[in-house]
Amino acid sequence: MNAALGEKALDRSIVLVGLMGSGKSAIGRRLAARIGMKFVDADAEIEAAAGLPINDIFEVHGEEAFRDGERRVIARLLSEPPHVLATGGGAFMDGETRKSIKARAFSVWLRADFDVLLRRVSRRDNRPLLKVENKEEVLRQLIEERYPIYEEADIIVQSEDGPHEETVNEVIAALKRLTADEARDGDAASSPNQAI
Ligand code: S3P
C-alpha cells in the first residue's frame, strides 16, 4: 500500500480541487491506482444520493439544493477511510467544506490555464454552469473568483495537456515533500503550499 509514497500508509484522504476541466477525475483515478488507494468521485456520489444526474439536480431543484447535497456528501466522504477524492469545481468554495477538507485531508489544486480549460470543457456539454452562450466569459469569471481560494490548497500542481502520468508524478512528489515536512515539524498548519 502507498508504495509510491514510502512505507507509511497515508492517514488522510487526498482531495483534488480545481475548475471544471482541470482533470480532477482523470488524475485522481490514476493517482489512486499508483498509491493503492480507493478513488471516489464526489459528483458521482451526489448523483447516486439524489438519484438524478447533476444537470437534472440543477434544473429541477436549483443550484442551492445541489450545493447543500454537495456539502453533505463530501462531509460524509471525509469521515470514511482515507481515499482519493475528486470534488466538483465549486466544492472548495464552500467555507464549511473547505474547513473540513483542510482539517481532515491533503488538498491538491490542479491548476490549469484558461485555454486548456476551455478546450477541455468544450468537448462535452454536461456542465450546468457552462450551458451558456458565452462559455469563455463564465470561465474567466470563475477563474477570477475561485483561483484566490483554490490557492489555499496544501499542494498546487499545474495541469497541462501532456501525459497524465507526469501530473500524477508531480502530485506524488509534492505529497512526499508535504508528509516529510509534517513528520519533521509535527505541524501541518505551518506548512506552506508545495507549489511545483
Ligand atoms: C461545478 C463543477 C462540476 C459539478 C457542477 C458544478 C462547479 O464538477 O460539480 O456542475 O461549480 O464548478 P466538475 O468540476 O467535476 O466538472
Q: Which of 108, 116, 129 to mutate to test the pocket of ligand 1 (most atoms within 8 A of CB)?
A: 129
Distance 42 CA to ligand 1 centre (A): 10
Does any ligand 1 atom lie closer than 6 A to the CB of residue 4? no
Q: What is the pLDDT of residue 2?
A: 58
7-30: average pLDDT: 92
The pLDDT tens digits of the residues spanning 106-117 come to 999 999 999 999
Confidence tier at 78 by pLDDT (50, 70, 90): very high
Percent of the chain predicted with pLDDT > 70: 90
Residue 126 CA to residue 132 CA, distance in Å, equals 12
Residue 55 CA to residue 151 CA, distance in Å, equals 28
126-139: average pLDDT: 94
Protein residue with its CA nearest to atom 8 in ligand 1: 88
- Is residue 121's pLDDT more than 70? yes
Protein residue with its CA nearest to atom 15 in ligand 1: 88
In the CATH hierarchy, which top-level class contains the domain 8-195? alpha beta
Question: What is Dmax (Cα atoms) for the chain?
Answer: 51
Q: Which residue has the cell 490542479?
A: 110
Q: At what angle do helices 42-50 and 63-78 cross, to 10 degrees?
A: 110
Distance 43 CA to ligand 1 centre (A): 8
Q: At what angle do helices 24-35 and 164-185 cross, to 10 degrees?
A: 60
136-142: average pLDDT: 97
The pLDDT tens digits of the residues spanning 82-94 come to 999 999 999 999 9
> What is residue 89's DSSP assignment?
T
Q: What is the pLDDT of residue 6?
A: 64
**DSSP assignment string, 102-165:** HHHEEEEEEE--HHHHHHHHTT----GGG-SS-HHHHHHHHHHHHHHHHTTSSEEEE--SS-HH
- Is residue 100's pLDDT more than 90? yes
